[in-house]
Amino acid sequence: MKKVLITRKLLRSNEERLSKLWDAKLNLNDEIYSQNQLIELSKDCDGILSSIVDKIDEETINKLSDSVKIISNFAVGFGNIDIKTARKKNIIVTNTPDVLTNATAEIAMLLILGAARRASEGIKWVRNKNWKWSADFLIGKQLEDSRLGILGMGRIGRAVALRAKSFGMKIHYHNRSKLNSDLEAGATYHNNIQSLFSVSDILSINCPATSETKNIINKETLEFFPQGAIITNSARGDMINDEAMVQALINKRIYALGLDVYNGEPDIHSGYLNQPNVFILPHLGSATKKTRTAMADLAIDNIEEYFKTGKCTNIVN
């Protein structure tokens, strides 16, 4: 029987399925394994079902047992895995695309609403029990007729655009390439980020993590935005240079920031915690029972397909 290491605790239905299929080494205490633990625990395994928090770098992969032939990442992203080194060692890496699109798009809209309508400040006022209504109390920004810039018009970006249109927002986007008219659905294409940022009253970051997108929001590019723009990120934390962003918030160059992801999770930059105009969530993009179940099922499907055929539809390397 094949043996698979599961690095984090999954929902019960997924763990039951795993145990029926293979000799599953479950993480019942949901411990975050160190790289050395991951290497040791997977020593006699044929595959690893990993999570986005597992750092599976070149050194780790090179120390994995030769028995490990697949790393099935429980995420649409795979920046936590050195896929080139995995390929050299004849380990395939897979991800879970499509299934988390709608859940993540919902969180992207929550970030936009929370930042624009000063939700963090409002919650604080309610908890202090000392707020009084007035005509100018917690005046925020209305989404209707505002220009939403979408950085990365893939599945999630398009799902955000669809939802944003229902709020009366005007959609602009930048992508590696222009989409066909059906996928654009009336959105305006910009062939560079300066052009997109310059018209973005609100920016939603939905692009994949690459060397090109790391720190794409920085001191220089923040100057491209209209005064008082809003920036939200539901993609990956390293898209934003924290020092530059905190300074832009302090200087009111940027009106508000919405984050579901950030550098060094869960240790967020302290500067964000001191700013009232930052709306923060603890990486909830895919956090619905429906989506997390579907993600785990797809991660399991990837392993099952590989064990049966030696190939996998969702291979990323």
CB contact at 8 A, 147 and 170: yes
DSSP for residue 238: G
Q: Check residue 280 and give its pLDDT.
A: 97
Is the same domain home to 140 and 229? yes
Inter-axis angle of helices 12-21 and 289-309, to 10 degrees? 10
pLDDT score at 89:
96
226 in a domain, yes or no? yes
Residues 115, 256 within the same domain = yes
314 falls within a domain: no
Per-residue pLDDT tens digits for 154-174: 999 999 999 999 999 999 999
Please check the confidence at residue 214 and state whether its pLDDT lies above 90. yes
Q: Please check whether residue 50 is in contact with residue 33, taking contact to mean a CB–CB distance below 8 angstroms.
A: no
Q: Clarify whether residues 10 and 122 are in a common domain.
A: no
Query: What is the overall mean pLDDT for the chain?
Result: 96
Q: How far apart are CA 267 and CA 237, in angstroms?
A: 11
Give the pLDDT of residue 85: 97
Position 76 confidence tier, pLDDT thresholds 50, 70, 90: confident
Distance separating alpha carbons of residues 39 and 62, to the nearest angstrom = 10
Q: Examine residue 275 and state whether it is found in any structural domain, yes or no.
A: yes
201 and 256, same domain (yes or no): yes
- The number of residues in the chain equals 317
Question: Do 271 and 169 fall into the same domain?
Answer: yes
Catalytic residues: 236, 265, 283
Please give the share of the chain, as a percent, with pLDDT higher than 70.
100
Residues 76 and 155 in one domain: no
Question: Rounded mean pLDDT of 278-291?
Answer: 96
Burial class of residue 317 in the structure, from the number of CB atoms within 10 Å of its CB (0-12 exposed, 13-18 middle, 19+ buried): middle
So what's the pLDDT on residue 100? Answer: 93
Domain membership of residue 315 (yes or no) is no
What does the pLDDT look like over 27-71, one tens digit per residue?
999 999 999 999 999 999 999 999 988 999 999 999 999 999 999
The answer on 117 and 253 residing in a single domain is yes
Query: pLDDT digits over 112-144, tens only?
Result: 999 999 999 999 999 999 999 999 999 999 999
- Answer yes or no: are the C-beta atoms of 261 and 283 closer than 8 Å: yes
What integer pLDDT is reported at residue 106 of this predicted model? 98
pLDDT band at 88 (very low <50, low <70, confident <90, very high): very high
Residue range 187-196: mean pLDDT, rounded: 98
* pLDDT tens sequence across 230-283: 999 999 999 999 999 999 999 999 999 999 999 988 999 999 999 999 999 999
**Domain of residue 21, CATH code:** 3.40.50.720
Residue 179 lies in a domain: yes
Per the rule left: phi > 0, alpha: psi between -120 and 50, beta: everything else, 159 is alpha
- For residue 207, give the DSSP letter: P
pTM for the model stands at 0.90
d(CA 116, CA 108): 12
Are residue 218 and residue 275 in the same domain, yes or no?
yes
Half-sphere exposure of 229 (CA within 13 A, CB side): 24
Q: What is the DSSP string of 261-305?
A: --TTTTS--HHHHT-TTEEE-SS-TT-SHHHHHHHHHHHHHHHHH
Q: Are residues 167 and 216 in the same domain?
A: yes
Q: Based on the fold, state whether residues 148 and 84 are members of the same structural domain.
A: no
Which structural domain range is residue 200 located in? 101-280
**Which DSSP letter does residue 15 get?**
H
pLDDT given for residue 107 in this prediction: 98
pLDDT surpassing 90 at residue 208: no
The verdict on residue 316 lying in a domain is no
Q: Which residues contact 4 (CB under 8 A, 6 or more apart)?
A: 18, 22, 23, 24, 25, 45, 46, 47, 48, 49, 303
In a domain? residue 317: no
Q: Quick one: 119 and 11 in the same domain?
A: no
232: closest CA among 108, 124, 122? 108
Residue 172 lies in a domain: yes
Hey, which bits of the chain come out as E strands? 3-6, 23-25, 47-51, 70-74, 92-94, 147-151, 170-174, 188-189, 202-205, 229-233, 254-259, 278-280
Nearest Cα to Cα of residue 100 among 290, 233, 283: 290
Res. 210: pLDDT tops 90 = no
- Looking up tokens 């700013």 gives 275
Task: Please check whether residues 118 and 263 belong to one and the same domain.
Answer: yes
Q: Sorting pLDDT into bands at 50, 70 and 90, what band is 182?
A: very high
Identify the pLDDT of residue 171. 98
Indicate the number of domains in the chain: 2
H/E segment holding residue 194 = helix 193-199
| Percent of the residues in the chain that have a pLDDT greater than 90, as a whole number | 95
Q: Quick one: tokens of 175?
A: 């992508």
